[in-house]
Amino acid sequence: MKRIILYIRSGILNIWHFHSLSKKIVFGRNVNIEGNVTFGKKVILDDNVEVRNRTKEEATVGDFVSINRNTVIRGKVNIGESVSIAPNCMIIGANHHFEDTKKSIKEQGVKTKGIVIEPDVWIGANCCVLDGVTIGKGSIIGAGSIVTKTIPPMSIAVGNPCRVIKQRT
């Protein structure tokens, strides 16, 4: 019965967000999508996922992407196809301006370099990916890592700050 309710709710949300049933996106409970974001086909957005982009540039989520529960994606983030994002991740493709000490940080707005997550990447649970980073195709990011610099393709990277410990061959 729960599965039937999930499919009905997902169908309604596909029509609401995308005006179509063709994308076949699966929506968990309490999913929040805001701003300039486009989605590929067969995406899974688990419970409490937030995807928000208030920048002028488009954010994208590719085909066959799964974003697990309690994950927040904000700003200009481009996710390639077949990416798996484990629970409780923060992927933040923007940063606050803070140069003018006469204004509050909140008044100064945000800047964005953007984040690129290339195809076939697995990001482990409780990771944080910061603005300006590219994670190369086929890479694995270990649980709890904080990614502050670009990770080359086919890498296994872990830690705070995240660093490459091995290449996949």
The residue range of the domain holding 71 is: 26-167
Write the DSSP string, 103-151.
S-TGGG-EE---EEE-SS-EE-TT-EEETT-EE-TT-EE-TT-EE-S-B
Q: Is residue 76 part of a domain?
A: yes
Q: Which of 30, 154, 55, 39 is nearest to 113 (CA)?
A: 55
Q: Is residue 140 part of a domain?
A: yes
For 98-151, the pLDDT digits (tens) are 999 999 999 998 889 999 999 999 999 999 999 999 999 999 999 999 999 999
Q: Is residue 103 part of a domain?
A: yes
Q: Is residue 10 part of a domain?
A: no
Write the DSSP string, 53-83.
E-SSSPEEE-TT-EE-TT-EEEESEEE-TT-
Q: What three-state secondary structure class fits 161?
A: coil
**pTM of the complete model:** 0.87
For 54-86, the pLDDT digits (tens) are 888 899 999 999 999 999 999 999 999 999 999
Write the CATH number for 95: 2.160.10.10
Catalytic residue positions, numbered: 96
Domains identified in the chain, total number: 1
Q: Is residue 1 part of a domain?
A: no
